Structure 1
């Protein structure tokens, strides 16, 4: 039943040779890897206006030069990550660049920040999209957590089915959103050019504003830069592209930058020219659409595609998180299970971990994750700063042909990214302070995992110089609970091992039971030694463990090995297990971590 459901939801398993068919074309990659960045157009311009609104509507003209600053940063980031794609075609983005050029810990800061950021991407995006739906249908408001979780589950199943399949489905809403906004911007600009929009709605550029300060402008710039989250996703996902992967990834990154620049600047310009004021209950995009089209079908088309893109922005996390996790796992900083491909050749463990983590966040914050946006943004700009600083170090150290322009691009991006990061800490410390806790904790955890893997490797490595003492004999201990076919099956197996000695151990709670059992045993298995142990506290494990300790001590002196053969019967149906004592499982679990003892379970399958 479970396997049938899995096949229905995920599809048939794919052969390893079909991996090439799971690579993305530029068109599909642009849709699923740009959804996070493109969706930020829906809230990035609004973040600028919210900061400027503290000085009144007269200050809104500053949104134009601030938007120019954001576009300069976007250009620097796109050019920088384009260079990263060609310099590190195996993927990994900020983590690999920072680790190779700045050191292990800066790399772990970048990688850890992005891992957490992708979890936040899923939680914040799905919650924002759910809010858009519940705003249109207020009756659903009390179910928003359930709706958000269902969306996460839907995206999880879609991604478990494979990269190309999820891209094929999710590409349509993304391109519909892009089309809707281009229509909105085009029609809005047309109305402005034809004089349909009054010049009195906005303050002329250059109008003096009382109380304006460099600090407030930088704060607005940092808030608007939240529109650049997701720019790094393509550099992390290079292995998902069709060959030649680096060239296709670079072209996709450039196209994403062009689309993001046009949409962002268009929304900022229309918001300024229309004199839009940010409101709690209505988004800036919604106000622009209403002023441009009125409340008609086009307005609802724009609102619908906006809600969809906010939800589907989460898919960037589902695509980029598993690939980043693979790079960290290959370097032994997180569990190796993240390197394993699932039935559909995707890194399913990474997908499932991301889904579970984001659902936990949604439940913990009751679906109100909007105050996580600053934390979400600073989690991106820390890797931005580190990766571009790493590229600066790379160019200075290697000095390849044409390195100076590349150095200037990366240095510019690193400087602006650092300023944005500092502004987040200065202006929104109450919301971003958890970064100062979880990053050190994650680095410590990464190093402890790495130390564990190194220690395991050292202990498992075969050394030609190391001599192993040979085992000259073998003692087998068989715990028995009665005279049954299960015990007989285990004894026959023990006899087949050519052991020096087989010892059956019976633990009784009553002394009379032990005497009766000893008499029956002599008649049934006279050639197998039986040891009866009395347990006055009705525990099987405690007296059995003490007996094993005694045998182990004697066996080590005689250079004998010790094997514990545990009889176990398996019911025909799984639910039958709850009707029986699981003593064999308890013994195995308790003794599994004991040294110098081999534990073997001999199953006996019931047929009825």
Structure 2
């Protein structure tokens, strides 16, 4: 079985570019794949609050109620704010686009870099947590945590490579089963409370004086509980993935996610308080509540299984949002251009594979124990939260659209709250979050280096003025072109010295780019024939090979030879090569063994 057959079996047959509209997702599927991270945090958000309060004692547990109210206020502010962001920036990009356009380049890069790292952490932490849930149910597997986690990442990576609609169809069921399981749990638990079946003696009355409590500890508990808000921004990054009207559908999905998250989080927090649940190392808070409400029956195991599933599938939020954010950064020349290329199944496969590989590396390095990464995980979200809110404040103040005062007020409240949470996180968890001060500047510097390289290349390849050269006699020359640059100009000059028939060939992935190229070429070199080939499957090599086959046959009929000139620019530094696709090398590799085709590379050396 050759490689292409294996690829088709694993990923599926290639889709045509015109089928892109069919890969858009509706609200129900979007809610499943883009909200899994936020909804899964219900499984540990309340527990994070109680773990901090446990340092004082059982009497302090009632503080979980006002802390949860504060988190719900923050959630409301974030949902209202991101609704406005989606309508203002319907092409996606979320915090990166908002920050870059309104606060400047570096603010945007900080937001973008934070989110990229956060999505990698999302996958690593979620998969590790889900693996722990699996090995807790089957203790004999404890020694295989890392291999199991890596296999789960690989499974979700392949699922996403098969296309967003296919992954959404598979992943929707566990997410909605989790929501159903918790609604059943909350319904039964609250029914027992209202019927007086749960004695009030199990919990400390609200308002009870607690010796040793401090503002610092309460703020620490609040910041820990804010981990329940990770993933809220994912929908704003993935607006282009929605069916039309995409912005309206994204806003509705965001609102629905906010309502479900608020209901589940507040319900679990209330039941944990009323039943007097204490955090345990060997059993989660949700498990204790389910065990108390149902006992160890079918419903208990149903809740445990769906909780484990959603903890694993929370990773899919990262796979849905990371590639789209990488596309925005790559389009602006801050990441390699390979991230803008769609794969066989019309997804941004390079981003998907990169995220999967980075997550597996993180799991291996930390041996599956990624608990220490959770504070970084939260900081990685609240930096973009704060920047996006601040960016929207500046946008409304500058543009002053209809109703701008109310919009500005919403974002102002959101900015103040998220900035406060960020300060609390840095203050209370500095030993865990200090690495952000190291890796974030490094990421921003790398972004600038990549951008500087692309700008240097563009400046060196830009053509100024018209170009003309007398043609000499020769054979049939085929010149693949990707645009009108100095590389093409240099190659044309050589082509005209070796052939009297020069044919430029451009491979277009869509009709719009095909038309634009024809217009530009007619203005640039109307004397040289341009042939445009439309590639439905976004392949450069296949249509070029077919065209060369046709020309080769005609050349044999007229006893003419065929030369294929491959333009290629040579970067000054070797590491620059990873920032450019290697289509010229692939084309040469495919043509190397053609008996009647001469393949010539015309290099153009960059100076920077």
* TM-score normalised by the chain length of structure 1: 0.78
The question of 1:157 aligning with 2:150 is answered no
Which residue in the other structure is 2:503 paired with? none
CA gap 1:593/1:177 in 2 versus in 1, 3 angstroms: closer
Which residue in the other structure is 1:205 paired with? 206
Which residue in the other structure is 2:265 paired with? 264
CA gap 1:304/1:498 in 2 versus in 1, 3 angstroms: closer
Which residue in the other structure is 2:109 paired with? 108
Query: How far, CA to CA, are the matches of 1:72 and 1:33 in structure 2?
Result: 22
Q: Which structure 2 residues correspond to residues 295-444 of structure 1 after superposition, within 5 A? A: 295-444=296-445
Q: Which structure 2 residues correspond to residues 280-299 of structure 1 after superposition, within 5 A? A: 280-299=281-300
RMSD: 2.5
CA gap 1:376/1:592 in 2 versus in 1, 3 angstroms: closer
1:454 match: secondary structure: helix
- Structure 1 unaligned spans of 5+: 475-495, 500-590
Query: How far, CA to CA, are the matches of 2:18 and 2:470 in structure 1?
Result: 44
Query: How far, CA to CA, are the matches of 1:594 and 1:129 in structure 2?
Result: 46
The question of 1:29 aligning with 2:30 is answered yes
CA gap 1:344/1:196 in 2 versus in 1, 3 angstroms: same
Query: How far, CA to CA, are the matches of 2:473 and 2:448 in structure 1?
Result: 42
Tell me by how many angstroms 1:431 deviates: 1.0
Tell me by how many angstroms 1:603 deviates: 3.9
Query: How far, CA to CA, are the matches of 2:334 and 2:36 in structure 1?
Result: 29
Tell me by how many angstroms 1:230 deviates: 0.1
The question of 1:249 aligning with 2:255 is answered no
CA gap 1:472/1:327 in 2 versus in 1, 3 angstroms: same
Tell me by how many angstroms 1:592 deviates: 7.1
Query: How far, CA to CA, are the matches of 1:164 and 1:237 in structure 2?
Result: 14
* TM-score normalised by the chain length of structure 2: 0.78
- Structure 2 unaligned spans of 5+: 475-495, 500-568, 574-583, 596-608
Which residue in the other structure is 1:230 paired with? 231
Query: How far, CA to CA, are the matches of 2:95 and 2:106 in structure 1?
Result: 12
Query: How far, CA to CA, are the matches of 2:100 and 2:570 in structure 1?
Result: 38
Which residue in the other structure is 1:180 paired with? 181
Query: How far, CA to CA, are the matches of 1:223 and 1:258 in structure 2?
Result: 21
Alpha carbons 2:161, 2:349 under 8 Å: kept:
yes
CA gap 1:304/1:459 in 2 versus in 1, 3 angstroms: same
Q: Deviations over 1:357-394 (max 9, x none)?
A: 00000000001111100000110000000000111111
Query: How far, CA to CA, are the matches of 1:261 and 1:603 in structure 2?
Result: 61
The question of 1:132 aligning with 2:133 is answered yes
Tell me by how many angstroms 1:605 deviates: 7.1
Q: Which structure 2 residues correspond to residues 534-573 of structure 1 after superposition, within 5 A? A: none
Q: Which structure 2 residues correspond to residues 451-462 of structure 1 after superposition, within 5 A? A: 451-462=452-463
Q: Deviations over 1:459-492 (max 9, x none)?
A: 1111117x89999999xxxxxxxxxxxxxxxxxx
Tell me by how many angstroms 1:402 deviates: 1.1
Tell me by how many angstroms 1:212 deviates: 1.4
Query: How far, CA to CA, are the matches of 1:604 and 1:229 in structure 2?
Result: 53
Query: How far, CA to CA, are the matches of 1:72 and 1:404 in structure 2?
Result: 20
Alpha carbons 2:39, 2:261 under 8 Å: kept:
yes
CA gap 1:455/1:472 in 2 versus in 1, 3 angstroms: farther
1:99 match: secondary structure: helix
Tell me by how many angstroms 1:401 deviates: 1.3
CA gap 1:604/1:180 in 2 versus in 1, 3 angstroms: closer
CA gap 1:135/1:459 in 2 versus in 1, 3 angstroms: same
Tell me by how many angstroms 1:247 deviates: 0.3
Q: Deviations over 1:435-454 (max 9, x none)?
A: 10111101110001000000
Tell me by how many angstroms 1:155 deviates: 0.4
CA gap 1:473/1:219 in 2 versus in 1, 3 angstroms: farther
Query: How far, CA to CA, are the matches of 1:302 and 1:36 in structure 2?
Result: 17
Q: Deviations over 1:531-581 (max 9, x none)?
A: xxxxxxxxxxxxxxxxxxxxxxxxxxxxxxxxxxxxxxxxxxxxxxxxxxx
CA gap 1:604/1:286 in 2 versus in 1, 3 angstroms: closer
Which residue in the other structure is 1:94 paired with? 95
Which residue in the other structure is 1:447 paired with? 448
1:177 match: secondary structure: helix
Structure 1 residue ranges, 4+ long, deviating more than 2 angstroms after superposition: 467-474, 496-499, 591-595, 598-606
Tell me by how many angstroms 1:216 deviates: 1.3
Query: How far, CA to CA, are the matches of 2:433 and 2:207 in structure 1?
Result: 33
Tell me by how many angstroms 1:97 deviates: 0.4
Tell me by how many angstroms 1:433 deviates: 0.8
CA gap 1:412/1:498 in 2 versus in 1, 3 angstroms: closer
Tell me by how many angstroms 1:299 deviates: 0.5
Query: How far, CA to CA, are the matches of 1:18 and 1:469 in structure 2?
Result: 43
2:41 match: secondary structure: helix
Tell me by how many angstroms 1:31 deviates: 0.4
Alpha carbons 2:471, 2:497 under 8 Å: kept:
no
Q: Deviations over 1:192-244 (max 9, x none)?
A: 11111110000000001111122211111111011000000000000000000
The question of 1:44 aligning with 2:45 is answered yes
Tell me by how many angstroms 1:594 deviates: 9.5
CA gap 1:288/1:451 in 2 versus in 1, 3 angstroms: same
